[in-house]
C-alpha cells in the first residue's frame, strides 16, 4: 500500500507513512513571434478601416483586388502573415439589377465594398435544373454562383449568393414575383467610386493595427507626409506598449543627398529607412515603398539571432544605383538601408540598421542595428507574455516574487540558448524600489548578442631566399 492520505497541516496519531500530492506549476516561457507584418494600403477593394489577416498572396489579391503589390513584396521578403487595413473614407459600391422574364426588376446586386471596379455579369439559361450567375472582370471569371432553375429563381439566387465573396444579393423593392429571371450576357455593372484617401485616412487605419502583434509596419506610399504620420504613430504605439519597426522607402529618383538627410532626420531606432532599390528581370525597378515592403518582410521573418546584413534579395538582378565607397559610408552613418553586390554578383542588403544615428539619453549604440533592436523588442515582448498570466495569481510576498524571478530566469536561459543573449543575463529585485502593496520592481540585465559583420585580416608576408 502507498500509505494513508493526509491533508496539509494534519498531524497523524499512528506511526507510519502518509501521502498527499500537489500540482507544481511550471511557467511556460513564451516563444518568439516572427514573420508578421502590418500594412496600410489604398486598395481598389476590401472593407474600409478593418483589419484583414492574410497568409498568402492569393488571399491578398482576393481581399483587396489588383496585383496586391505591397503584399507581394512583403511575402517575397519571407513574411508568414500580414495584418492589412484598407485606408479611405466614402466611395460608392457598384450596382446592377436583374429583371425577371416580364422585364420587372427582381434582384438588386451590389458590390460588397466601395470602389471603381469594372464588374461584368452573365446570367445563363437553364442547363437542366441549374442556372449560373457568372461575375467577371477584365475578361477573367471571378466567381460562379449556381442556383436552382425554375420556380422562384430570385429567391434561389439570393440564397445561393449569400456565400459570394464579392456581391450582396437582395430582392428589389416592392418585387413580389416568383418566376424565372431573364438571361443576361456580359452586362456591365453601374460602376462605383473609389474612397477618398488622405493623410488622416492612413492615420486612422494605422490606429486599427495597434491591438495586433506585429514585427514591422509599412505603407503603400513614399509620400513624405505619410512617413511623418507613421513616425508619429510609432512614437505613440511605443508608449502604448507596442514594439516593432516601421519601414519606409524613398524612390531612387530623389537625389541621394536628400535621401541621406531624410534618414538622418528620423534618428529613431523604431524607424527603418530604405533609401535605394534594385532591378528585377525585365528591367523592373523595385524601390520606394515596394523596396520597403520587401525589407519589412525580411526583418520580420529573420529570427533575432540572425541579421539581414548581407542577406540576398531574391529576384534582384542588379542594384538600382552604383554607389561609391564614400557614398556607402555616408548612407550608413545616416542610418539608411542600401543595397550592394556580393562577391558572386548577387544583390544583398548592405547594412541592417535603423535610422538611429546619434544615440542620446538612455539609447545606446545597440539600438542602431536592426538585429540588436529586434532582440531587445523580443525580450520585452516575451517577458511580458511570460509574466502576464502570473499577475493576480501569485502573492506579493517572498514566495510570489521568487516565482516571478524563476519564470524570468527561465526565459533568459531560453534566449541565451537561442544565441540571442549573452550568458550573463540575470534578473533581481530592484533595490531602489522595494515591494509595496500590489507592486514589485525587477531589474533585468541582458546583453544582446551582435552578429559578426566586420572581419579584419592582417597579412604577414616575408621574402624568403630559396
Question: pLDDT for 69-100, tens place per residue?
Answer: 999 999 999 999 999 999 999 999 999 999 99
pLDDT of residue 23: 54
Q: How far is CA 138 from the centre of its chain?
A: 30
Is the pLDDT at 24 greater than 80? The verdict is no
Read off the pLDDT band of 456 (50, 70, 90): very high
> Is the domain defined by 95-188 classed in CATH 2.60.40.4290?
yes
What's phi and psi for 214, nearest 5 deg? -145, 160
Question: What average pLDDT score do residues 196-208 get?
Answer: 96
pLDDT of residue 10: 82
This prediction's pTM? 0.88
Of 275, 277, 291, the residue nearest 218 (C-alpha): 291
Is residue 333 within a helix (H) or strand (E), and if so which, with residue range?
Answer: helix 325-334
pLDDT of residue 353: 98
Question: Which residues of the chain does CATH 3.40.50.11780 include?
Answer: 36-87+197-349
Give the C-alpha distances (Å, rounded to integers) separating 191 from 68, 113, 158, 234, 307: 21, 12, 21, 37, 48
Side-chain-side CA neighbours of residue 280 (13 Å): 12
Read off the pLDDT band of 256 (50, 70, 90): very high
Q: Say if CB 328 and CB 307 are below 8 A apart.
A: no
CATH class of the domain whose range is 36-87+197-349: alpha beta
Is the pLDDT at 255 greater than 80? The verdict is yes
User: Using CA atoms, how far apart are residues 401 and 382, in angstroms rounded to an integer?
Assistant: 18
Over residues 350-364, the pLDDT tens digits come to 999 999 999 999 999
Q: Say if CB 234 and CB 246 are below 8 A apart.
A: yes
Give the C-alpha distances (Å, rounded to integers) separating 241 from 210, 211, 212, 286, 330: 9, 10, 11, 33, 33
Is residue 154 within a helix (H) or strand (E), and if so which, with residue range?
Answer: helix 153-160
pLDDT of residue 341: 97
User: Using CA atoms, how far apart are residues 458 and 171, in angstroms rounded to an integer?
Assistant: 82
Is the pLDDT at 465 greater than 90? The verdict is no
Read off the pLDDT band of 28 (50, 70, 90): low
Is the pLDDT at 398 greater than 70? The verdict is yes
Is residue 262 within a helix (H) or strand (E), and if so which, with residue range?
Answer: helix 256-266
Is the pLDDT at 26 greater than 60? The verdict is no
Is the pLDDT at 303 greater than 70? The verdict is yes
Question: What average pLDDT score do residues 313-327 get?
Answer: 97
Question: Which residues of the chain does CATH 2.60.40.4290 include?
Answer: 95-188
DSSP alpha helix (H) spans, 335-397: 370-387
192-223 residues labelled b (16+ CB within 10 A) or e (exposed): bebbebeeebbbbbbebbeeeebbbbbbbbbe
pLDDT of residue 2: 57
Is the pLDDT at 27 greater than 70? The verdict is no
| Grid cell listed for 158 | 439570393
pLDDT of residue 29: 62
User: Using CA atoms, how far apart are residues 282 and 6, in angstroms rounded to an integer?
Assistant: 80
Amino acid at each position: 500500500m502507498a500509505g494513508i492520505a493526509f491533508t496539509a497541516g494534519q498531524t497523524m496519531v499512528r506511526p507510519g507513512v502518509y501521502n498527499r500530492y500537489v500540482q507544481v506549476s511550471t511557467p511556460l516561457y513564451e516563444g518568439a513571434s516572427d514573420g508578421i507584418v502590418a500594412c496600410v494600403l489604398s486598395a481598389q477593394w476590401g472593407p474600409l478601416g478593418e483589419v484583414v489577416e492574410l497568409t498568402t498572396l492569393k488571399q491578398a489579391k482576393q481581399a483587396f483586388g489588383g496585383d496586391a503589390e505591397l503584399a507581394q513584396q512583403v511575402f517575397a521578403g519571407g513574411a508568414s502573415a500580414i495584418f492589412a487595413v484598407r485606408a479611405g473614407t466614402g466611395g460608392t459600391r457598384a450596382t446592377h439589377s436583374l429583371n425577371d422574364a416580364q422585364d420587372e426588376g427582381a434582384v438588386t446586386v451590389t458590390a460588397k465594398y466601395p470602389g471603381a471596379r469594372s464588374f461584368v455579369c452573365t446570367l445563363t439559361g437553364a442547363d437542366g435544373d441549374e442556372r449560373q450567375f457568372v461575375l467577371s472582370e477584365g475578361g477573367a471569371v471571378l466567381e460562379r454562383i449556381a442556383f436552382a432553375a425554375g420556380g422562384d429563381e430570385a429567391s434561389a439566387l439570393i440564397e445561393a449568393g449569400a456565400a459570394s465573396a464579392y456581391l450582396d444579393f437582395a430582392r428589389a423593392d416592392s418585387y413580389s414575383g416568383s418566376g424565372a429571371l431573364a438571361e443576361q450576357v456580359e452586362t456591365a455593372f453601374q460602376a462605383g467610386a473609389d474612397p477618398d484617401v488622405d493623410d488622416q485616412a492612413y492615420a486612422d487605419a494605422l490606429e486599427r493595427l495597434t491591438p495586433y502583434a506585429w514585427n514591422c509596419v509599412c505603407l503603400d506610399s513614399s509620400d513624405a507626409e505619410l512617413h511623418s504620420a507613421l513616425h508619429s504613430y510609432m512614437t505613440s504605439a511605443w508608449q502604448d506598449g507596442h514594439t516593432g519597426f516601421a519601414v519606409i522607402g524613398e524612390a531612387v529618383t530623389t537625389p541621394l543627398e536628400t535621401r541621406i538627410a531624410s534618414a538622418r532626420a528620423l534618428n529613431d531606432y523604431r524607424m527603418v529607412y530604405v533609401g535605394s532599390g534594385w532591378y528585377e528581370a525585365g528591367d523592373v525597378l523595385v524601390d520606394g515603398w515596394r523596396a520597403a515592403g520587401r525589407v519589412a518582410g525580411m526583418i520580420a521573418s529573420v529570427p533575432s539571432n540572425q541579421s539581414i546584413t548581407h542577406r540576398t534579395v531574391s529576384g534582384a538582378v542588379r542594384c538600382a544605383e552604383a554607389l561609391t565607397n564614400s557614398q556607402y559610408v555616408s548612407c550608413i552613418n545616416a542610418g539608411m538601408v542600401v543595397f550592394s553586390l556580393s562577391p558572386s554578383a548577387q544583390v544583398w542588403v548592405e547594412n541592417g540598421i535603423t535610422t538611429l544615428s546619434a544615440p542620446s539619453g538612455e539609447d545606446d549604440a545597440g539600438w542602431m542595428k536592426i538585429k540588436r533592436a529586434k532582440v531587445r523588442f523580443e525580450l520585452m515582448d516575451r517577458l511580458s507574455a511570460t509574466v502576464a498570466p502570473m499577475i493576480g495569481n501569485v502573492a506579493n510576498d517572498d514566495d510570489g516574487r521568487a516565482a516571478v524571478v524563476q519564470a524570468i530566469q527561465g526565459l533568459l536561459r531560453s534566449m541565451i540558448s537561442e544565441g540571442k543573449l549573452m550568458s550573463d543575463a540575470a534578473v533581481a529585485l530592484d533595490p531602489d524600489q522595494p515591494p509595496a502593496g500590489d507592486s514589485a520592481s525587477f531589474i533585468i540585465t541582458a546583453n544582446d548578442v551582435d552578429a559578426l559583420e566586420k572581419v579584419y585580416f592582417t597579412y604577414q608576408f616575408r621574402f624568403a631566399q630559396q
